[in-house]
Amino acid sequence: MKLSVRHITHYRFDHPVRGVVQSLRLWPADCASQKLLSWEVKTEGALRGAEFTDGAGDRTALVSWRGPLDELSVEVTGEVETVDLFGVLRDHREKGPASLYLRSTRFIRPDNDLRELSASALEGMKSATDLDRAHALSGAIAEAIEYAPGETKPHTTAAEALSGGKGVCQDHAHALIAVAHVAGIPARYVTGYLQVDEDGKPHEASHAWAELFVPDLGWVGFDPSNRCCPDERYIRLGSGFDAQDAAPIRGVVQGSTPEEHLKVEVTVTAAPGQQQAQ
């Protein structure tokens, strides 16, 4: 499927700031499930600094704006050709070992409830395949945390999302990573784009899911929010230990810290004649 992306992030400050420095991870990597046909990241008025590919295989660029500055935008446009590999990540160049992703953070640290959920999901599955165990964990998260926008905050932890029983894709991904870690399975947070939800409705924002390491297959994506593995509707952007670590844009405002107003617009469309059958 050929997917077109337009992603605009606009910042406005109540008072002019001295400057802004950002780290951008907004370039999808070429791999077996996706091929970049075109891709451009516009940062009008910014100075472009170092660019490199990190150990996770994600391209990073440093940019800065000099003030006084009361607004700025980062605009992404591009086209990607995708293939459904049932969530399996192949031919992705990265250097870090899978065991690196057993590291915990405050967002994915399991509490007793997450530990119990992990054990319950895998009960009676000692002889099951690693892939089936990963599916069982993803399914358990989808059942335990209802998809409900507006019920959680960006700083909500996996334990808090499970306790509240509601959340969004970020909460689902954090919770799945947590229960996977309890089971000794390396797991990580993935950011990207989704063309349409399972019900066929256009997805109106950036998306997130988790990848679990399955021996013999490698990294496999699981999206509890849509109860599926990423397919040709998905574009994989980057990964990290949690949402904060994997954030496509991270920045620092120089000088005073006025209130920041953020507006994000994301549109993902399929080329005519390539819409997935509903």
CATH classification of the domain holding 19: 3.10.620.30
Residue 51 lies in a domain: yes
Q: Is residue 119 assigned to a domain?
A: yes
| 125-166 pLDDT, tens digit each | 989 999 999 999 999 999 999 999 999 999 999 999 999 999
Domain membership flag for residue 116? yes
pTM: 0.94
Q: Counting Cβ atoms within 10 Å, is residue 116 exposed (0-12), middle (13-18) or buried (19+)? A: middle
Residue 277 lies in a domain: no
pLDDT digits over 18-38, tens only?
Answer: 999 999 999 999 999 999 999
In a domain, 64, yes or no: yes
The answer to whether the beta carbons of residues 64 and 21 sit under 8 Å apart is: yes
**What's the domain count of the chain?**
1
The answer, yes or no, to whether residue 190 has pLDDT greater than 70, is yes
With respect to residue 42, please indicate whether it lies within any of the assigned structural domains: yes
Nearest to 258 by CA among 10, 71, 16: 16
**Can you give the residue range of the structural domain that contains 11?**
2-270
Residue 275 within any structural domain of the chain: no
- Give me the percent of the chain exceeding a pLDDT of 90: 85
Residue 276 lies in a domain: no
